[in-house]
């Protein structure tokens, strides 16, 4: 391996942590929770496979900071009451190949399903605009000031637990329309208190979460995932993103990942609600390169990258790290292959007219690949999106029943 190749040069982050190369596995939602919303053998097997694949950094799929706020019933929960042994085993598996392992921590806000039985917590009572699919999501409940303080505490508690379990850092998810992203957007944040109004006030929750996490987990890598834009008319804009980057410049974070979109406008899958055309690969590089002009921390961008040539362009565009997501669901050792030759992964295209259904089918197909690898099987290039969606619905129904039972028991134990 030539250490002169830019993708395989090491990177030392502001907090002192060193990554062996410039390739990161970006977060993908696995939906592999075992009973108790804990990681188990499938999660460990999947990450051991990625650990041997050659990336310098593995960022987990989102781990929830609260038991009543999940993106789906197969999601993991880590709080200050969670047993740490399953998480320690996860960290050990992920560290087996010399990569660093960071846990993405998240609160979904209003992007949670109604059949889980929890409210769609949000800055304001603005429901999702997803046509017929909108009925699947929980009724929206605006957070009180006290509830906001509790969510900040929960982010900090989850980061502390992740550190105790042996992870190298956390990534705070403030993109893709989840709760912190909802506070940043003027479309979803219509508050009139200290957490709404000006951009600085809409960003207050994110900044307070960052500070609480750093205080709870000292000497721990802390990253933020931020939208370069929401790609919705009247939403979080590129100018807003620049302003948030300038605020984060003062928080001494180790890495800022730039992405885009939400459930309403799935730009992270190459589709936008406002009609803007994204690049075929490295969707957000043009926006990220503009943000690089003001950012003082290392930057990473993710979105459709599947060729080494494009990954090299990402570094040349001012990024310190290249985030690879879906391509690693199909070729888990892609970074190792790139050390010797250009190798490409075919794009995942669900060309259905209904963008919302296409988005859900895309996620179901990728998740099916992750489940195959979690079971010790190889990825398959021949999975049909329609079949994947059907199987995903069947599995989700069973997981939902299990989650609702667990959630009830959890609430009873807390009383």
Q: What is the pLDDT of residue 305?
A: 86
- pLDDT tens for the 415 residues of the chain, in order: 444 589 999 999 999 999 999 999 999 999 999 999 999 999 999 999 999 999 999 999 999 999 999 999 999 999 999 999 999 999 999 999 999 999 999 999 999 999 999 999 999 998 887 677 778 899 999 999 999 999 999 999 999 999 999 999 999 999 988 999 999 998 899 999 999 999 999 999 999 999 999 999 999 999 999 987 565 666 678 888 899 999 999 999 999 998 876 565 554 545 445 444 445 555 577 778 888 899 999 999 988 888 898 889 899 889 999 999 999 999 999 999 999 887 778 777 788 887 777 878 888 999 999 999 999 999 998 899 999 999 999 999 999 999 999 999 988 777 6
Q: What is the pLDDT of residue 395?
A: 96
- Both tokens of residue 355? 């963008």
The rounded distance, in Å, linking the Cα atoms of 128 and 176 is: 13
Q: Helices 285-292 and 238-248, interaxial angle, to 10°? A: 40
The rounded distance, in Å, linking the Cα atoms of 261 and 274 is: 10
- Both tokens of residue 223? 């990253």
Contact 170, 102 (CB under 8 A): yes
DSSP 358-401: HHHHHHHHHHHHHHHHHTTPPP-TT--HHHHHHHHHHHHHHHHH
Q: Which of 170, 238, 245, 240 is nearest to 209 (CA)?
A: 170
- Both tokens of residue 192? 């009139």
Kindly give, in sequence order, each residue whose CB lies less than 8 Å from that of residue 409, ignoring residues fewer than 6 positions away: none
Kindly give, in sequence order, each residue whose CB lies less than 8 Å from that of residue 390, ignoring residues fewer than 6 positions away: none
Domains, the chain: 6-349 (3.20.20.70)
Q: Distances from the Cα of 75 to the Cαs of 27, 39, 134, 171, 370, in angstroms? A: 13, 9, 21, 16, 14
Q: Helices 145-164 and 204-216, interaxial angle, to 10°? A: 40
Q: Distances from the Cα of 214 to the Cαs of 24, 159, 209, in angstroms? A: 22, 8, 9
Contact 140, 127 (CB under 8 A): yes
36: left (phi over 0), alpha (psi -120 to 50) or beta: left
The rounded distance, in Å, linking the Cα atoms of 51 and 57 is: 9
Contact 76, 38 (CB under 8 A): yes
Q: Which of 78, 63, 2, 56 is nearest to 29 (CA)?
A: 63
pTM: 0.93
- Both tokens of residue 51? 């650990």
CA angle 361, 364, 366 (to 5 degrees): 110
Residue listed under structure tokens 């929750």: 205
The rounded distance, in Å, linking the Cα atoms of 176 and 140 is: 17
The rounded distance, in Å, linking the Cα atoms of 26 and 328 is: 9
């Amino acid at each position: 391996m030539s250490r002169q190749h830019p993708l395989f040069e090491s990177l030392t982050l502001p907090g002192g942590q060193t990554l062996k190369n410039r390739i990161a596995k970006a977060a993908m939602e696995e939906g592999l929770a075992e009973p108790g919303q804990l990681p188990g053998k499938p999660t460990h097997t999947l990450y051991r496979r990625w650990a041997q694949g050659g990336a310098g950094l593995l960022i987990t799929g989102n781990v929830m900071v609260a038991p009543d706020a999940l993106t789906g019933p197969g999601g993991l929960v880590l709080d200050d009451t969670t047993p740490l042994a399953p998480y320690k085993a996860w960290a050990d598996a992920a560290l087996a190949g010399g990569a660093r392992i960071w846990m993405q921590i998240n609160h979904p806000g209003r992007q949670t399903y109604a059949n889980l039985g929890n409210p769609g917590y949000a800055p304001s009572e603005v429901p999702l605009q997803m046509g017929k699919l909108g009925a699947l999501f929980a009724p929206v409940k605006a957070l009180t000031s006290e509830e906001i303080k509790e969510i900040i505490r929960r982010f900090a508690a989850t980061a502390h637990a992740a550190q105790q379990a042996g992870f190298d850092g956390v990534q705070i998810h403030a993109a893709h329309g989840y709760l912190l992203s909802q506070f940043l957007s003027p479309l979803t944040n219509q508050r009139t208190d200290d957490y709404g109004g000006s951009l600085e006030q809409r960003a207050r929750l994110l900044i307070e979460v960052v500070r609480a996490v750093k205080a709870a987990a000292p000497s721990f890598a802390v990253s933020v995932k931020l939208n370069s834009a929401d790609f919705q008319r009247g939403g979080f804009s590129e100018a807003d993103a620049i302003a948030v980057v300038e605020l984060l410049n003062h928080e001494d974070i180790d890495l800022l990942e730039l992405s885009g979109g939400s459930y309403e406008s799935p730009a992270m899958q190459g589709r936008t609600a406002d009609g803007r055309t994204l690049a075929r690969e490295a969707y957000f590089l043009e926006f990220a390169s503009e943000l690089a002009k003001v950012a003082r921390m290392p930057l990473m961008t993710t979105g459709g990258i599947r060729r080494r040539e494009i990954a090299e362009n990402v570094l040349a565009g001012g990024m310190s790290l290249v985030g690879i997501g879906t391509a690693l669901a199909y070729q888990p050792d892609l970074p190792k292959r790139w050390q010797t030759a250009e190798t490409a992964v075919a794009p995942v295209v669900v060309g259905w007219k209904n963008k919302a259904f296409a988005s859900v089918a895309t996620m179901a197909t990728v998740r099916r690949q992750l489940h195959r690898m979690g079971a010790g099987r190889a990825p398959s290039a021949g999975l049909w999106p329609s079949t994947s969606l059907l199987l995903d619905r069947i599995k989700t129904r069973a997981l939902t029943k299990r989650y609702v039972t667990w959630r009830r028991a959890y609430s009873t134990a807390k009383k």
